[in-house]
């Protein structure tokens, strides 16, 4: 009989199995096993030989790895590759292609995943409208390196309450990411800087675990795959260029170099020092792709405001409309656009260059009722004035809708 494939965690029995994959590899998995079946196969005395643990924990470590931590079963998986000196030319070329001018930071990011897996890191986003850029290959490569400690997610997985399959993974990859629901974005933002997570399985009670997962997203929607604000510092957005030539065997070449690359990274010194809780500063990971994403989000706020004000003007046949910041914020709260008074004030004064009245004057404010009806009410305040001609000039696409 092979090495003991069974174990007991708490009061439940499990079997360690090797699940075959379509690429002729195996993934280790823990399957709950009925104790009567074990007795039927090997006899009752066999149970005495089964290793027993108090419970499960997930403790990431790539060097001094152990399946037992103070009497608990460690569900983290050891890496399939060990560092070994060798050639890394293809991997260096690949990392330079992915990270561009931030190549050294990219190597630091990988080194942190390998050497300090509990370190909080920014959400890495690889974007490009073009195909054949290597974005998906980067996810596949990381999966080969970190094995069962990486899981692929989609918006459905993130939106679900049940997260037993990914709640304690090192890497969480989203390919073709397009996250429109605000609650999913907020969940990613929260988890990216949190060290705790609630694990929930169907029919089971929720329990809290240490969380060390890092999100990596790939998307061909450069300027709209997620909604983030201008002050967001948790996202590292990189536009990946198209590959100059395609090599169908390139991923296999990268996989062959994994042991050598692990040796290279282990013996390489960090190019950056830990400056923030996410290691990198916002200035270090700032990119034009991030600016484009933020600007597009700001543009959505501007367009929603313009559309709202035009609707008021058209309903009441006005050439201009007056409003205070709270009037506008209350109206926008009934849409999916997220903003605040500070952003609105900056937008109106800095971008639209519209001044607020110095004193309170009487004006008609617009109010959106719960059924969507727009009404005008007499009130008093320090209001802004927007002219229809301004909106026509700057948002002509809305005029033709």
Q: Which residue has 């002729």 as its token pair?
A: 24
Residue-level pLDDT at 347: 87
Query: Token digits for 85?
Result: 């000196």
CA distance 395 to 49: 75
Q: Which of 290, 297, 242, 274 is nearest to 124 (CA)?
A: 290
Residue-level pLDDT at 160: 66
CA distance 222 to 292: 8
Q: Which residue has 């998906």 as its token pair?
A: 136
β partners of residue 174 = 153, 217
Whole-number Cα distances in Å, 126 to 47, 220, 240, 382, 392: 50, 9, 6, 45, 36
Residue-level pLDDT at 291: 84
CA distance 368 to 389: 23
Residue-level pLDDT at 230: 67
**Which residues, in sequence order, are CB contacts of 105 under 8 Å at separation 6+?**
99, 271, 272, 280, 284, 285
Query: Token digits for 21?
Result: 């994959």
Residue-level pLDDT at 120: 94
Helices (H), 78-222: 89-99, 103-115, 135-146, 155-159, 182-192
Residue 358 CA, distance from chain mean position: 44
CA distance 174 to 126: 10
In order of their start, the domains of the chain are 6-74 (no CATH), 89-286 (3.40.50.300), 297-399 (no CATH)
Per-residue pLDDT of the chain (401 residues; tens, 9 = 90+): 346 789 999 999 999 888 887 766 677 788 899 999 999 999 999 999 999 999 988 899 999 899 999 999 998 999 989 999 999 999 999 999 999 999 999 999 999 999 999 999 999 999 998 888 889 999 999 999 999 899 888 777 776 666 666 778 899 998 876 676 777 788 888 888 877 766 665 656 566 677 888 999 999 888 878 877 767 789 999 999 998 888 889 999 999 999 999 999 999 999 999 999 999 999 999 999 998 887 777 677 888 898 899 999 999 999 999 999 999 999 988 877 778 898 899 889 888 889 899 888 999 999 998 888 999 999 999 999 999 998 887 776 555 54
* 249, 85 contact by CB (below 8 A): no
Query: Token digits for 107?
Result: 């190597």
Tally the residues of the chain: 401
Cβ atoms < 10 Å from Cβ of 243: 16
Residue-level pLDDT at 163: 61
Query: Token digits for 363?
Result: 């004006």
* 235, 286 contact by CB (below 8 A): no
Residue-level pLDDT at 294: 79
Residue-level pLDDT at 130: 87
DSSP state of 277: T
pTM assigned to the model: 0.76
């Amino acid at each position: 009989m092979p090495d003991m494939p069974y174990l007991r965690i708490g009061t439940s029995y499990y079997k360690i199995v090797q699940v075959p994959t379509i690429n002729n590899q195996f993934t280790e998995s823990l399957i709950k096993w009925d104790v009567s079946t074990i007795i039927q196969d090997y006899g009752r005395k066999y149970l005495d030989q089964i290793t027993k643990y108090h419970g499960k924990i997930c403790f990431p470590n790539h060097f001094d790895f152990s399946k037992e931590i103070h009497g608990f079963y460690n569900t983290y998986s050891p890496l399939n590759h060990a560092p070994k000196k060798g050639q890394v030319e293809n991997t260096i070329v690949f990392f330079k292609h992915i990270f561009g001018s931030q190549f050294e930071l990219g190597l630091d990011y990988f080194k942190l995943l390998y050497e300090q897996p509990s370190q909080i890191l920014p959400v890495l986003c690889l974007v490009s409208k073009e195909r054949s850029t290597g974005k998906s290959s980067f996810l596949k490569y990381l999966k080969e390196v970190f094995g069962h400690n990486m899981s692929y997610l989609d918006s459905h997985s993130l939106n679900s309450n049940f997260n037993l399959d990914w709640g304690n993974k090192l890497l969480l990859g989203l390919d073709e990411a397009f996250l429109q629901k605000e609650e999913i974005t907020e969940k990613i933002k929260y988890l990216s800087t949190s060290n705790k997570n609630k694990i929930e399985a169907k029919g089971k009670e929720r329990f809290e675990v240490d969380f060390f997962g890092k999100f990596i997203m790939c998307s061909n929607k450069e300027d709209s795959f997620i909604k983030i604000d201008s002050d967001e510092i948790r996202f590292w957005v990189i536009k990946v260029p198209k590959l100059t030539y395609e090599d169908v065997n390139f991923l296999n070449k990268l996989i062959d170099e994994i042991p050598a690359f692990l040796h290279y990274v282990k013996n390489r010194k960090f190019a950056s020092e830990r400056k923030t809780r996410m290691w990198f500063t916002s200035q270090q990971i700032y990119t034009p792709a991030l600016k484009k994403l933020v600007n597009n989000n700001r543009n959505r706020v501007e367009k929603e405001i313009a559309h709202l004000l035009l609707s008021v003007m058209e309903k009441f046949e006005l050439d201009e409309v007056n409003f205070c910041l709270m009037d506008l914020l209350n109206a926008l709260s009934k849409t999916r656009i997220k903003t605040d008074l500070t952003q609105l004030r900056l937008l109106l004064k800095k971008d639209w260059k519209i001044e607020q009245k110095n004193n309170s004057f009487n004006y008609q404010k617009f109010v959106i009722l719960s059924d969507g009806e727009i009404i005008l009410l007499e009130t008093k305040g320090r209001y802004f004035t927007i002219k229809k001609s301004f909106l026509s000039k700057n948002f002509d696409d809305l005029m033709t809708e």
